[in-house]
Structure 1
Amino acid sequence: MLTIIQSPSKYIQGAGALEKVGKYALMLANSYLVVADSFVMNLTQATLEKSFQISSVQAYFEIFRGECCKKEINRLGKILQRHGCKGVVGVGGGKALDTAKAIAFYNKVPVIIVPTAASNDAPTSALSVIYTEDGAFEEYLMYPSNPDMVIMDSTIVANAPLRLLISGMGDALSTYFEARACYEARAVSMAGGQSTLAALNLARLCYETLLEEGLKAKAAVEAGVAIKAVDHIIEANTYLSGIGFESSGLAGAHAIHNGLTVLEECHSMLHGEKVAFGTLAQLVLENAKQEELETVLDFCVQIGLPVTLDQIGIQDNDDLKGKIMKVAKASCAKDDTIHNMPFEVTEDQVYAAIMAADRIGHKWLKNYNIVL
């Protein structure tokens, strides 16, 4: 089988990058539908309008209603068609960006992705995660190419809520472990082939960057200041994780995340928070070395990522076994990425891994005198 690596045509990161969107957009088209939720639109519209005007690019702004589902994709696509837009700009978080990619794909126009937070690795990828209108995972929508451009304004990203940056680190945390599993299994990645050495090592660099820079970046954002570690974590959360997962592959952590979406009590949790717990469960599932497991546990607790079920909203009660069996069953769906693990995985094994990861997490929290 062929090895494949893929990435956006351009990745642009730095302070004030939002002011340059019009300049780069003009390279692809002269009219765009700009999609963002109401909060992000209020934050960015004036700057974007000025940037588009300077570059003589026409822009139509439309509010994204919050869920990356087929109904919302179709609604926004009709607006793009009505205005005759030749491209899409998605601004904001993961679901808004995934929706922008889907609109562009169905309408055969270029797409520019402008994240306002480093909360996940969706921006660079050639896929969208499609949910039902109620917020449950439905499918991955795969595209023939990555976004034409990804533009990260590091000033805006660093001033986003700290929880979003931490969630991005949770999403990025899984990248290396899932890439390693896929490499060992010779699994087919999201890019359509086996992992290259380059992709695997970008995934490893992502993990190493999190361990080296994560706590410093968190402290800086808490203090309201910008330091180099913040830039490094933005790149790790977005570019390194994005290329690493897409061109190496997803495995247990994201499948378990997808399983968790069937529980309503998890819907308030961010993607990366659920993926972080899924990473712990994957490490238990594959019987990872104790030292490695402890390193991940330490990182999660210090950064503020969940290591127990109750930290992601699942209470220990009489219904717990039934709920986690539902999660395990959904995680092992026929086409989900749990089957990229380098061994056969059953629902019972996933259930056991989740329950054991939860108990390990509780025991580890006691090392920090944290009692839930």
Structure 2
Amino acid sequence: MARIFNSPGKYVQGPDALAELASYAAPLGARTLAIATPAGTERVGGKVRRGFEAAGAELVLEDFGGECCDAEIERLCAVARGAGCDVVAGIGGGKVLDTAKAVAHYLGAPVIVCPTAASSDAPCSALSVIYTADGVFDRYLFLPSNPDVVLMDSTVIAAAPARLMVSGMGDALATYFEAKACVDSEADTCAGGKATAAALALARLCFDTLMADGVKAKVALEAGCLTPAVEHVIEANTLLSGIGFESCGLAAAHAVHNGMTQLPETHAMLHGEKVAFGTLVQLVLENAPTETLEQVLGFCLEVGLPVTLAELGVEDASRERVMAVAEAACAPADTVGNMPFDVTPEMLADAILGADALGRYYALED
């Protein structure tokens, strides 16, 4: 099978980049449907509108309903058709962006994704994660192409709560370990072929960047500063992790995240926070070297990513409940099968409980 490397058509990152959204949308179509949460519109709507007015371009700004589910995607498709929009832009977090990508796909329109936080690696990918209306993971929607433009306004991103950037670090933390597992197993990637050496190198650079600049970036954000470390982590969370996961693949860490949606109390946790714990689970499952486990655990503890089930809101971590997570994570349609060895629900349940025990042990030491 061919080796395939996917990437967005254009990646733009810098201060006040959202003010230029209209200049990137205009070559793609005549009228843009921009999807954002009400809070997102309050934060950046003025900047976006002023850019469209200055460019003489047409904009329809529509509120996001809150969940990337089939009903919301269908509603927004109807809004776009009714308003005659031929470009879709998503402005916000991962679920807004995934919804915008899905809407553009069904309309056959170009899409621009504009994250207001570097909270996940969703922006660059040809993938939308679809949930039920109640927030339970439903399926991956693989799209025929990556976003036409990814626009990262680092001024807006640096002003977001630090927890969102830290969550993005949790999502990015999994990238290299899952990529390596997929390369070792010769698994098919999200891009539809086998991994390239270039994608694996970017996945490794993602991990190295987090280790070098993650703590510095968190401290800077908490002080309200946009420093080079913050810019580096925005790129790692978004571009490096996005290409790394899509062109190499996902494995146990994201499957554990998806399984966690079986526990309603975890729904309040951010995607990357659950993925960070899933990364620890994958490392336990692989029996990773102690040095690697300590490096990852130490990083999580230092930036504030959860390392125990209790930190994910799970007070009742009975084996029965953990088995429900493990069984869901081991579903044939999920990505545990990309590990370079067979994984049973029993093995995964043990790894979840083992990761939780390690997290408690190291948190006490810390």
TM range (shorter): over 0.9
Question: 1:96 is matched by which residue type in structure 2?
Answer: V
Aligned to 1:155: 155
- Residue 289 of structure 2 corresponds to 289
The equivalent of 2:361 in structure 1 is 363
Structure 1's consecutive aligned runs of 4 or more residues displaced over 4 angstroms after TM superposition are none
SS in 1 for 2:190: coil
Distance 1:71 1:262 in 2: 21
CA contact (8 A) 1:30 1:56 kept: no
Q: In the TM superposition, what are the counterparts of 1:177-196 in structure 2 within 5 Å? A: 177-196=177-196
State how far apart, in whole Å, the 1-side matches of 2:224 and 2:62 are. Answer: 31
**Where does residue 301 of structure 1 map in the other structure?**
301
Q: Where does residue 350 of structure 1 map in the other structure? A: 348
Counterpart-to-counterpart distance in 1, 2:246 and 2:324:
27
**CA–CA separation in structure 2 for the residues paired with 1:47 and 1:305:** 32
Query: TM-score, length-normalised on structure 2?
Result: 0.99
In 2: Cα distance, 1:21 partner to 1:59 partner = 11
Residue in structure 1 matched with residue 36 of structure 2 by the alignment = 36
Residue type at the aligned position of 1:330: A
How far 1:316 sits from its partner (Å)?
A: 4.1
Residue 338 of structure 1: aligned partner: 336
Show the counterpart of 2:221.
221
Give the Cα–Cα distance (whole angstroms) in 2 for the partners of residues 24 and 133 of structure 1: 32
SS, match of residue 67 in structure 1: coil
Letter of the 2:238 partner, please give it.
T
Aligned identity (percent) is: 55
Deviations 1:81-117 (A, max 9, x none): 0011011010000000000000000000000000000
Structure 1 segment 1-372 matched on structure 2, within 5 A: 1-316=1-316, 320-368=318-366
Q: Which moved more, 1:54-63 or 1:142-151?
A: 54-63
In structure 2, how many angstroms separate the alpha carbons of the residues matched to 1:81 and 1:110? 14
Does structure 2 retain, via aligned residues, the 8 Å contact 1:68–1:98? yes
Q: CA deviation at 1:16?
A: 1.1
Instruction: Write the deviation string for residues 294-344 of structure 1: whole angstroms up to 9, x where unpaired.
Output: 100000000100000000011146xx2111010000000011000000001
Q: What TM-score, normalized by structure 1, do the two folds share?
A: 0.98
CA distance in 1: counterparts of 2:230 and 2:314, whole angstroms: 32
Letter in 1 for 2:241: S
**2:362 counterpart letter in structure 1:** W
Q: CA deviation digits over 1:104-159, x for unaligned, max 9? A: 00000000000000000000000000000000000000001000000000010011
Secondary structure of the residue aligned to 2:305 is coil
Deviation at 1:169, TM superposition (A): 0.1
Counterpart of 2:105, as a letter, is F
Which runs of 5 or more residues in structure 1 are unaligned?
none
- Partners of 1:225 and 1:285 in 2: CA distance: 38
Give the unaligned 5+ runs of structure 2: none
1:217-275 superposed Cα distances (whole Å, 9 cap, x missing partner):
00001111121000000000000000000000000000000000111010000000000
Q: How far off is 1:55 after superposition?
A: 1.6
Is the Cα contact below 8 Å between 1:120 and 1:172 reproduced in 2? yes
Q: Distance in 2 between matches of 1:282 and 1:161?
A: 28
Q: Secondary structure, in 3 states, of the residue corresponding to 2:139?
A: strand
Cα distance in 2 between the residues matched to 1:3 and 1:235:
24
Residues 178 and 252 of structure 1 are in contact (CA less than 8 Å); yes or no, is this contact kept in structure 2?
yes
Alpha-carbon distance between aligned partners in 1 of 2:56 and 2:24, rounded to the nearest angstrom = 12
Opposite residue 198 of structure 2, the aligned amino acid is: A
Instruction: Tell me the number of residue pairs that the alignment of Structure 1 and Structure 2 aligns.
Output: 366
In 2: Cα distance, 1:143 partner to 1:208 partner: 29
TM-superposed deviation, 1:167: 0.2
Q: In angstroms, what is the RMSD of aligned CA positions?
A: 0.7
Structure 2 residue identity aligned to 1:21:
L
Give the letter aligned to residue 214 of structure 1.
Answer: G
